[in-house]
Amino acid sequence: MPDLALNLQSLQNALAACATEGRAPALLAVSKTQSAQRVAECAALGQRAFGENYVQEAVAKIMALAPLELEWHLIGPLQSNKCKTVAEHFDWVQTVDREKIVPLLAQYRPARLPPLNVLIQINIDEEAGKSGCSPDSTAKLADLIDSFPRLRLRGLMAIPDPAHSQDGVAFKRMQVLYRTLQPRHPQMDTLSMGMSDDYPIAVTHGATLVRVGSALFGPRPPHSEDT
């Protein structure tokens, strides 16, 4: 569709303009609530990586679009009873935030697939009731993930409070935490932060992957959450 092509090109141009050391941040197309057909249209324009929040909705799209060999990221909260399904179908999980789910993901990752790429979700503002590992607990969780051969620790992810994203404070904290952990985990190469409203600010603080939905697909259609 013309608007999708225009939006994708605009985002690619904006990210290219933000390139540091010759490398532009990668774009993750947030396709939650979008139809498989809409995802296929975006893929036909060259976008390969897609982020989903709801496991059941995502798996239906992953199976329907399997011939396209797309890259699928879970970016929504992960319940322990969904670990098997996620480990079997996704390429990345960006929302690992507690020890309990780590061995489950490793246990259920099929041997026929490469190790599951994992990001630790950080509650960088330490908001009560919000998903994410506390900054002080991140090092221990990173070591645990690294101990499982079927998992590959790739970096960190955060969804800061909007009040702390527009001024860049939370993104700066994430950048510092990421750089602190990297010497111990040199395979880390991904700092996932920034969405439609704040990705330019995130990029100035080291984001290597931005998660964009509405600025690409337009307003989201309604959805039914997983049960």
Concatenating the DSSP letter of every residue in 49-78 gives EEEES-HHHHHHHHHHTGGG--EEEE-S--
Per-residue pLDDT band for 224 (boundaries 50, 70, 90) equals: very low
Q: What are the tokens at 30?
A: 């947030």
Per-residue pLDDT band for 21 (boundaries 50, 70, 90) equals: low
For residues 109-136, one letter each, b for 16 or more C-beta atoms within 10 angstroms of the residue's C-beta and e for the rest, the string is beeeeeebbbbbbbbbbeeeeeebbebe
72 located within any domain: yes
Q: Give the C-alpha separation, 43 to 54, whole Å.
A: 20
- Please give the average per-residue pLDDT across 105-113, as a whole number: 98
pLDDT one-digit tens code per residue, 197-212: 899 999 999 999 999 9
94 located within any domain: yes
The pLDDT score that the predictor gives to residue 129 is 77
224 located within any domain: no
- Residue 128 is part of which domain span? 2-8+26-217
CATH value at residue 71: 3.20.20.10
Q: What percent of the chain has pLDDT over 70?
A: 94
Give the residue among 122, 218, 116, 115 at the shortest CA–CA distance from 170.
Answer: 122
14 located within any domain: no
- pTM of this prediction? 0.94
Instruction: Specify the number of domains making up the chain.
Output: 1
91 located within any domain: yes
Length of the chain: 227
20 located within any domain: no
Half-sphere CA count of 113, side-chain side, radius 13 A: 20
225 located within any domain: no
Residue by residue, DSSP assigns 94-115 as: EEE-STTHHHHHHHHS-TTSPP
Hey, what amino acid is at 28?
L
pLDDT over threshold 60, residue 62: yes
CA distance readout (Å), 91 to 48, 50, 52, 159, 190:
12, 10, 11, 20, 14
Q: Give the C-alpha separation, 39 to 66, whole Å.
A: 12
Give the residue among 168, 161, 171 at the shortest CA–CA distance from 130.
Answer: 161
Kindly report which listed range (47-51, 58-62, 160-164, 182-186) carries the lowest average pLDDT score: 160-164
Give the best-scoring range by mean pLDDT among 22-36, 142-156, 194-208: 142-156
Which of 99-105's residues contact partners 24+ apart within 8 Å by CB, and which partners? 99/140, 99/141, 99/144, 102/141, 102/144, 102/145, 102/148, 102/151, 103/148, 104/80, 105/148, 105/150, 105/151
Q: Give the C-alpha separation, 90 to 147, whole Å.
A: 20
148 located within any domain: yes
